[in-house]
Amino acid sequence: MKRTLGEDMSLPMRLLTYAILIVGAVVMLLPFVWMLSTACKPPQELNLIPVRLIPQNPVCFENVSALYDRSEDFNNYLRNSALVTLGRTLGQLITCSLAAYGFARFKFPGREIIFALSLGLLMVPFQAIMIPEYLLVRQIGWLNTFQALIVPGIFSAFAMFLLRQAFLQIPLELEESALLDGANPLQVLWYVVLPLSAAAVAAFGVITVQAAWNDFLFPLVVAPTNADTRVATIGIALLQGQRDTPWNLLMMASFIATMPMLLLFVVLQRYFIEGVSMSGLAGR
């Protein structure tokens, strides 16, 4: 019978482990609890000392109404974020899966060098390429458009690496059998490789969706003036005033914008953890 790691630990070590995990969980959850607490506070309780974690007079629904009174287009901002997130995720799924499958299965001159250069993109901070990307977007005439928000983000070196590592763990015999049955490489990728890499694809989806949904700097640079393409992160930032900031409304907007990501992670948590752990096992 298999023994788990916890069964091999002594009682004091197990208690210490649980205590560390509980403290870590509290530290991780505290910002979310504070956000929800502030989102339900009336303006009179925002600056009270001592600070109250639980509002004395909760006004959650009133703050939601006040938020939409102050930012009437907030639902449009959420819709725009969803469109940008969907476009980037589908784009990365296509480009990164094709590139990952090519690096995993095809041998061609310079493969290792090209793959290393692609991974080198992970070491380049976005701020270093932001201005060249802005100039390119402006020259194409895409400023303040959805193309500017989506197209530059349809490739990710990290997503390509994640999928490549997952593809390397699939037995080559399965792909060879599909090829013998008359399938072409694209059909093998779509019908064999991707379904067998569901955990890695789920992990890829969570990471890509989270990054696209929370993106703030690039939308601020390439679409700063058009309200029709404004995303939720910028809409939340606009709630800040020069002399007064309604922190309860800002936290309520943050809570509403955070809920889709929390639900996505809860639904795909098992696949996310499995996909990330599997992607680190393969070698070449």
Predicted confidence at residue 258, as pLDDT, reads 92
b/e 209-222 (16+ beta carbons within 10 angstroms → b):
bebbbebeebbeeb
87, 152 contact by CB (below 8 A): no
Band (pLDDT 50/70/90 cuts) for residue 4 is low
Q: If pLDDT is split at 50, 70 and 90, which confidence band does 1 have?
A: very low
DSSP 27-94: HHHHHHHHHHHHHT--GGGTT-SSPPSS-SS--HHHHHHHHHHH-TTHHHHHHHHHHHHHHHHHHHHH
Confidence of residue 269 (pLDDT cuts 50, 70, 90): confident
Task: Look at residue 281 and tell me whether its pLDDT is greater than 50.
Answer: no
Q: Please give the pLDDT value at position 279.
A: 52
Contacts of residues 41-49 at CB distance under 8 Å and 24 or more positions apart, as own/partner, are 41/248, 42/248, 43/246, 43/248, 46/247, 46/248
Q: Which 8-state DSSP code applies to residue 189?
A: I
pLDDT value, residue 122:
85
- Binned at pLDDT 50, 70 and 90, residue 74 comes out as very high
Q: How far apart are CA 218 and CA 170, in angstroms?
A: 36
Contacts of 104 (CB under 8 A, 6+ apart): 164, 167, 168
Q: Say what the pLDDT of residue 284 is.
A: 41
Is it the case that residue 2 has pLDDT exceeding 60? no
Yes or no: say if 58 and 66 are a contact pair by the CB < 8 Å rule.
Answer: no
Question: Between the CA of residue 246 and those of 55, 66, 71, 120, 233, what are the distances in Å?
Answer: 16, 10, 12, 42, 16
Tens-digit pLDDT profile for residues 47-68: 877 878 888 888 999 999 999 9
Q: Which of 9-13, 44-48, 65-69, 265-269 has the highest mean pLDDT?
A: 65-69
Cis peptide leading into residue 50 (ω within 30°): yes
Q: What pTM does this model have?
A: 0.85
Say if residue 23's pLDDT is above 80. yes
Cα–Cα distance for residue pair 17/105, rounded to 1 Å: 42
* Among the ranges given (52-56, 76-80, 91-95, 227-231), the one the predictor scored with the smallest mean pLDDT: 52-56
The end-to-end CA distance of the chain, in Å, is: 33
Going 239 to 244 to 248 to 254, the CA torsion angle's sign is positive
Structure confidence by residue, pLDDT tens digits, 174-216: 898 999 888 899 999 999 999 988 888 888 888 899 999 999 9
CATH of domain 72-279: 1.10.3720.10
Cβ neighbours around 30 below 10 Å, total: 11
Q: Which positions ≥6 away from 152 have C-beta within 8 Å?
A: 133, 137, 218, 222
User: Percentage of the chain surpassing pLDDT 90?
Assistant: 52
Instruction: Report CA-CA distances (Å) from 180 to 107, 169, 173, 177, 185.
Output: 19, 20, 10, 5, 11
pLDDT of residue 282: 43
pLDDT level of residue 277 (50, 70, 90 thresholds): low
